[in-house]
Amino acid sequence: MEILWFVVGVLAMAVGLAASIALHEVGHLVPAKLFGVRVTQYMIGFGKTIVSWRRGETEYGFKAIPLGGYVSMVGMLPPPKDGQAARTASTGLVQQMGQLAHDARAQAAEELTAADEGRQFIQLPVWKRIVIMLGGPFMNLLIALVLMTVLVMTVGTATPTTTVSEVFRCVVTSQEQQSRAEAGQADCRDTDPVAPAHAAGLEPGDTVTSFDGHPVHTWDELSAAIRARADQPTAIEWTRDGQAMSGTLTPRLTERPVTDALGRPERAPDGTAKTEQVGFIGMGSQIENVRGTPLDAVEQVGVQIRGVVDVVLVLPQRLWDTAVAVVTPVERDPNGPMSVVGVGRIAGEAAALEDVPLQDKGALLLSLLASVNIALMVFNLIPLLPLDGGHVAGALWEKLRRGFAKLTGRPDPGPFDLATMLPLTYVVGAAMLAMGVILIVADIVKPIRLF
């Protein structure tokens, strides 16, 4: 039965990813047609066409390799200038790159007809081109917002509360905890200082109601108060089975991991876990699903976007760390990048969890799909071709260049020719392919396990 649920989870995520990719391309297709651009193809996947049909002037279909998709629009590149001939074949690198650019322009020009005048992508105002290219990432953002809103308003968000889930017997640093766990040693030793919560008499199931004389209603309020009272005797009140109890404890100044708004450990650019010296009493918080509003969903999506941006900004270092983890005993960062193989594996493991209600399994899968859409949005906004962000950057550079020419009284330089960026495009494409290979191998050899 566990294997069946694993397969169901993988298939469900595959369908969700395919739908996300299809809708991403719809985000490009719709504004392109609204702006009058002739769209020749809307395809899901790459390689050989499996099935296709034509509606109007656009061919719709599916291709053999379901990894991505594309929308073809006429006039993505300006045609060769009048009188511009193809370069003579040469072994020189610069000459060959120039030939590639010329060939790309010529191929784009072959698709044009007399009726395409005024309907070419390159002839649109810059702002319309930007809207078309941002349509795909915007669709991924919209999908994530819809999924998170559904989850927040129906299932709720896993939220730490002021109810105690566990009480630690001692206080040790996070590094010492990890070292003892790896060595299979006991959590506490006789020489370790007693945890303040344990000394005060707190037990699992107690609910903290006041700290330092101030009522506390949320874990954020209680946690902030504990961190701020390091080495200071502090009054604490709690309830146990409806009975009010109180005591005094002194939070110990201890090194603890830094966490984000979702409770996940934050990491420095080099991949190491961030820590800070704060007050600590040695109690865990009971997690409960708390329903929220659409604004709460927006906040959670914002937090996840920042997390993905942080990863993208140091992506080369994260890929190197992943490659190192494959060939060494070092563990992979659970918040690091992964391939579709890793996403599918996690979806399968989530679906196969025992003693977990079906509703919670569905919520896990929807949350994972929302996270994937956020990653797709951020990654596509990287200002490098062939990504959407590269086209946006090219359009903005054209606007800047033409504006400067107008300001200085120089002739209009015309549209920016993205064909000149083909060498860089090939380099970026090769880097993306290498990244995919590294992550797929890592997800097979040393997968990230969240359950």
Mind telling me the catalytic residues?
25
* 29 φ/ψ angles, rounded to the nearest 5 degrees: -65, -50
Q: Is the dihedral of CA 406, 408, 412, 413 positive or negative?
A: negative
Q: Cα(340)–Cα(7) distance, rounded to whole angstroms? A: 15
Cis amide prior to 386 (ω within 30 degrees): yes
Token pair for residue 440?
């797929």
Token pair for residue 33?
């047609």
* β-bridge mates for residue 229, sequence order: none
Closest CA to 374 of 24, 5, 22: 24
Q: Cα(266)–Cα(377) distance, rounded to whole angstroms? A: 21
Closest CA to 448 of 353, 332, 341, 326: 332
Closest CA to 273 of 265, 261, 284: 265
Q: What is the DSSP code (8-state) at residue 79?
A: P
